[in-house]
Chain A
Amino acid sequence: MADKTKNAEPKVGSVSRPPTAFEYGYDKSFRILTLAAGVLTVLLLVYIFWKLGALAAPAMREYGLGFLTTVEWNPNKNEYGILAEIWGTLYSSFLALLFGGVLGISVAIFLTQGFLNARLAWVFRLIVEMLAAIPSVVYGLWGIYVLIPAIRPMANWLHETLPFIPFFSTKLAGPGMFPAMIVLSIMILPTVAAISQDAFKAIPMKIQEAAYGMGTTKWEAIRKVIIPTASGGIFASLVLGFGRALGETMALAMLIGNAQQVSLSLFSPATTLASLLASTFPEAGANQIGPLMYAAVVLLVITMAVNFIGTIIMNYTSRQTVT
């Protein structure tokens, strides 16, 4: 017995011992540090909102909601309205989502459903993700020097043969909605592909096996079982991709043509909120700062709302797939 109690006492060099005061302090300060980082992030966001709001408040009072529903940017007469920018932002992002979304989800299916061996799929995935590393301005230059000359003949052929369809009602001179949309689709592709791949991977193997067990073909299994099961994650990937498209600035400022007008035509120039801010701010006089801040608040609210919805959907669905 006595021997046993001796053995139970900690030996010199044993790993288990009560933590020292230093380690307590170390642990605590680390916790405080992480807490501070978290709080700081939240405070930063609140501060940005508050500061922007304060700068925008005079313009909000002066121009009211009419600011959101008129098309005008005339600093000489102090008349401002950002309907064309809001329209262009939403329309270009929506179109990009349509193309980039379909492409991204297809890529995700291709990479996760056993069409490729694991090694090749890994390489493929890396390449898709590398698209996200290309700087925006490079996309813009590529758009101007490669994409626009390449799509111009096709676009103008569409305009000449089908001018009665509203989407093709104008000629594509150069910069415009269509090239902007294509570049934007490529830019959101990595976001959509990566997040929907995660959604597909989260589906338990047994669900797939059950589908095959019932005699479905691979295509039927994907269409009727896999996609519906992963639909929450796919939807979240689309919303986040949309959020990314809304805020994109440089490539769009270079490609969309910066024309203040509301048009359904894919080939006419348009403008976006981010591109208005980027091109007008550097030389804006005092009278333009207020309206620009107001426009910045509108952009911030739109992107925040979209990202918020996306995150909620993603949290909700990821919890569901685990159980």
Chain B
Amino acid sequence: MKTITTTLFLFGLLLGAKATDVPDVRYLKFDELAANFNTVNSKGQMLECHSAFDVFLPEGKFAAEGIDILVPETPNVRGEKLLFLKWSYNEKKWITIKGKKVSSKTINKKQYHLVHVNETGVYGLFNDDRAKGEIKLILAPSLRISRVEFSQENVQVNYEKQLYDKPHSIEIPFGSVSILSEISMDVFSKSENKTSGYQFKLGEIPSLHRITSKSNHTVVFITKKDLARISRSSTPQTPAP
């Protein structure tokens, strides 16, 4: 599975980094964030990621005292409130860390968010404003969904779920959907008795099949024709039963 493989690769990098005595903080680009992690908290709510970083602290002084990380505030956003969370590899979710808060600091008239880290791990700053609304994907009756992944780069959100009961619809807890949202899904066809992977942008589904209410509830009907038209199929990632 790509998630596990890449995560192990990241661990390998971290182990390699242990040869040095200096801390290492590396920003995670959205591609990397979406490929290896998600942006869901322990309550299953979707969070918009402000920034995520991979921190390595060597044994000794840095591990004992920790380090401060400064992240520039978003331009022209007054009173931006962020949550500071740590990625839990066990739960595969972002969890809160006791006693860790986001403070702010001004250096040379530039404003930064400041967080203190004293453990190696993957950390993220998320907008403290739970995404409202949802998007419901409904497939034709003869099709079933066995895995879905939803990503939207402009707001850095990612959601991935394996669906063992293979429903023909799925609700994703995010309402501010763009036509550029990426959807990757494994679809089981009853008639063909096989699972195929599809990857497409929401805007590739005809606008007549996408209905958004004022309260940010979007319903998307995906037909067989749509899937046939979307030629960019991906390799299914649904584990074999």
Q: Does A pair with B?
A: no
Residues of A whose CB lies within 8 Å of any CB of B are none
